[in-house]
Amino acid sequence: MARWMVIALVLAVETLPGCGADAPADAGVSPDGAPAAAFGQTIAGVELTEAELENIRQMGPLPALPPDPSNRFADDERAARLGQILFFDRRLSSNGEVSCASCHKPERGFAEEKPLANTIAPAQRHTPSVLNTAHQRWQFWDGRADSLWSQALGPIENPVEMGFTRMEAVRLISTNPALRARWVEVFGPPPDFSDNQRFPPRARPNPLDSGDPLEKAWRSMAEADRQAVNSAFANLGKAIAAYERKLVTGPAPIDLFVAAIRTGAADGLKALPAGAVRGLKLFAGKGQCFLCHTGPLFSDLEFHNLKLKPRPGMNPGDMGRHAGVQQLLNDPFNVTGPYSDSTTGPAAERLRFLKPQEEDRGQYKTPILRNVALTAPYMHGGHFATLKDVVRFYSTLNEEGTIGHRENFMQPLNFSESELDSLVAFLESLTGEPPPREWTTPPPGP
C-alpha cells in the first residue's frame, strides 16, 4: 500500500503548467462560456474537481521513446528495414506458415482476435499488442524479457508459437542472398553457418531436458560456435526491435483534450464528447483507474494481481510474474548478459536488484491503454470480449482466482450501466493515429 500512498501524494502536490496562479485567464471557462466550478472546471456539462484535473494533466502527451543502450542498432533505419522483413517472414517457423505478424496483426492493433494464441499449437495466454511497446520496461505478460530484442527471440523458439531454432534462423540469414545482403549493411558479414558438421541443421539449448535432441545437437557444437550462433541470433532480435520501435501511435483525442486543460485553449476541450468526459471523470476520480493506468501511457508499466479465474485452455497453475522473474534472471539475452550492447543504465540496475517475491504470484503486466479499443479481447487470457465486459469486471470484482491475492486497494464500485458506457466512451478516445503505413505493411519483395 505504501507505493500507492506515494503515488497519490505525488499526484496531489505536483504542479504542472495550466494550474494555480500561472493558469491562463480563460482556463476556468467551459467551451459554452459557462463559469468554471469552484475548485475545478465544468466541461461539456461535467464538473471536474481540481484533484481530477491534476490527474488528467498527467495523461499526455505521449513522450519520446526511451533509449535502449542494450541495443546499439535500436534507432538504425537499416536495422528497422531488416527487422520489418523478419517480422513478416514466415520462413522463421518450423512449418513455414507463421511469422510475428501471424499473431501481431496490423489490422488488429498488432494484437489478434483469438482469446489465446494458436499457431504451431495452442498457447496459454493472449497475444498482447506491440503498439507503443518500446515504452515498456518489461516484455511479455509476466515480464520475462527486459528488452524488445530479447522478447523478439522467445516466440521464434517457442514450440507452440513458431517452433523454430536459433540455428535454423541464423543459417537462413547466412545462406539467403537477399537477407544476407540486408544483414551485411547493418551488422557486417555473418559467419558461414552452412557447414553441417560444425553447425547441426536444427539446434537450440534446452537445459531443463538433457534428452531433448535439439539440446543434444546444441551441446555437440564447440563453445565458440555456440557463441557465434547466439551473437547472430541476438542481432536478429535487435533488428526486429528496431522495427517495433517504429510502431508508435500518433495523437489521440485525449491528447488534444489534455493539452487544452493545460493551456486553457477552449477548442481542444471539444475533442471529447460529453460521454467520454463523464468517463474521464470516473477514470481520474471515483474509479481510481489512474492508480495503475497512469500517465500518458495509461500504464504504470508494472504488475498486479486481479484474481481472474483461468479460462479454458489456460494453465490454472500459472504463477505470472513470479515465474517470469526467474526466467528473466536465467536468460543469457537479458540486458546484463554477454549479448547486450550495454550492461549499465536504468534497465540493468532494475535487473540487478530483482528477485522473485511471494507477492508476485498471479501478477501480470498493466497494459498500455492507448489504442485499446482496437485490441479485443482483453486481459492476459483474453478473458473479456469487449471493453464493457472489462469495466464491468472492475466494477464488480466478481471473480476470485486461486493464485496470490488481489491488490488491496481494489474494491467493487458498482457502476451504473450509464457509467460503464461513459468509461467505454473514454477508453475509445485513447485511439490515436496509426503508425505510418510504410511500417504497418509487409515490405515489398519476396
Which residues lie below 8 Å from residue 93, measured CB to CB, with a gap of 6+? 99, 119, 120, 156, 162, 163, 164
Is the residue at 56 inside a domain? yes
Distance CA 220, CA 226 (A): 9
Asked whether residue 257 falls in the same domain as residue 242, the answer is no
**Model pLDDT, residue 39:** 61
230 and 96 together in one domain:
yes
Question: Is residue 265 located within the same domain as residue 226?
Answer: no
CA 99 to chain CA mean position, Å: 19
Beta-bridged to residue 118, according to DSSP, are 122
Question: Which residue, of 248, 266, 292, is where some domain finishes?
Answer: 248
For residue 244, is it within any domain?
A: yes
The model's pTM is 0.90
| CATH at 411 | 1.10.760.10
Residue written as grid cell 553441417: 196
* pLDDT (0 to 100) of residue 19: 34
Domains in the chain, number? 2
Residues 57 and 126 in one domain: no
Where a domain ends, among 232, 248, 264?
Answer: 248
Among the candidates 214, 233, 248, a domain finishes at 248
List own/partner pairs for 358-361 with CB under 8 A and 24 or more apart. 358/322, 359/404, 359/405, 360/303, 360/319, 360/320, 360/321, 360/322, 360/324, 360/325, 360/404, 361/305, 361/319, 361/320, 361/321, 361/322, 361/403, 361/404
Q: Residues 331-362: pLDDT tens digits? A: 999 999 999 999 998 999 999 889 999 999 99
Spatial CA neighbour of 373 closest among 361, 362, 385, 365:
385
268 with 244, same domain: the answer is: no
- Does the residue 178 lie in any domain? yes
What's the CA gap between 151 and 238, in Å, rounded? Answer: 10
Instruction: Tell me whether residue 296 is in a domain.
Output: yes
Residues 283 and 417 in one domain: yes
Q: Which residues of the chain fall below pLDDT 50?
A: 1-38
Q: Which domain holds residue 27?
A: 2-64+251-314+359-428
Q: What is the mean pLDDT of the chain?
A: 91
